[in-house]
Amino acid sequence: MKPPLGEAQLRDLALHYAARFATTAARVEAYLLRKIRERGLAEDADGRTVDVDISALVARLVELGYVDDDAYARMRARDLGGRGYGGRRVEETLRHAGVGEQVRRDHAPGEAASRRAAALMAQKRRIGPYGAGKNDGGDPLAARKAHEKAVAAMLRAGHQYDHVRFVLAAARIEDIDNWLAEAADAEGTEDQW
């Protein structure tokens, strides 16, 4: 059985955790609290349990720059968007990681990025015009089920219904390219997530 934790051991655990993982302040705090539950807190020379201010310890890591919620949110938003996930999924992931509301709003994808992510998801899943080569044998029931499945997959991935509807209804890939260019021109952002 591992010995109970003192302030120095908790600080070392927090530093080790922050060095190994891109993380948020909330996750570091949850990690330390879990370690305390597992191992307990050490006692001082008088036999009293050592009182450790976990919030202050985490705040110090943030102050030193070892933990940065803003950088984490930027990285996760870019990663998820690059994998074809929509804004709702990005927001949900950041909220689950303990990122504050303002930081989540700051890193929410704009219209152009949301459209790019929806097109990427359709391309990866070979749906909409990207899957036009599929043959359903002319069975309208099979086509309807495939369409419903595609809609559900894209909604689960966090895309807006309007985007899903447009991508799946597009007859040609060029239609989607024009739709993407229109949003990029409107925002004046060609290469931002």
Percent of all residues in the chain with a pLDDT value above 70, rounded to a whole number: 94
Q: Amino acid letter at 183?
A: A
Do 59 and 85 lie in one domain? The reply is no
Q: Which residue has the tokens 């007859």?
A: 171
Do 179 and 120 lie in one domain? The reply is yes
Provide the residue range defining the domain that includes 55.
Answer: 7-67
- pLDDT tens-digit map of 136-157: 667 889 889 999 999 999 999 9
Do 84 and 44 lie in one domain? The reply is no
Domain count for the chain: 2
Handedness of CA 108, 109, 110, 114 (dihedral sign): negative
- pLDDT tens-digit map of 2-34: 888 888 999 999 999 999 999 999 999 999 999
Rounded to two decimals, the pTM is 0.84
List Cβ<8 Å contacts ≥24 apart for 153-156.
153/121, 153/125, 153/127, 154/86, 154/118, 154/121, 154/122, 154/125, 154/127
- Final residue belonging to a domain, choices 46, 67, 88: 67
Do 76 and 135 lie in one domain? The reply is yes
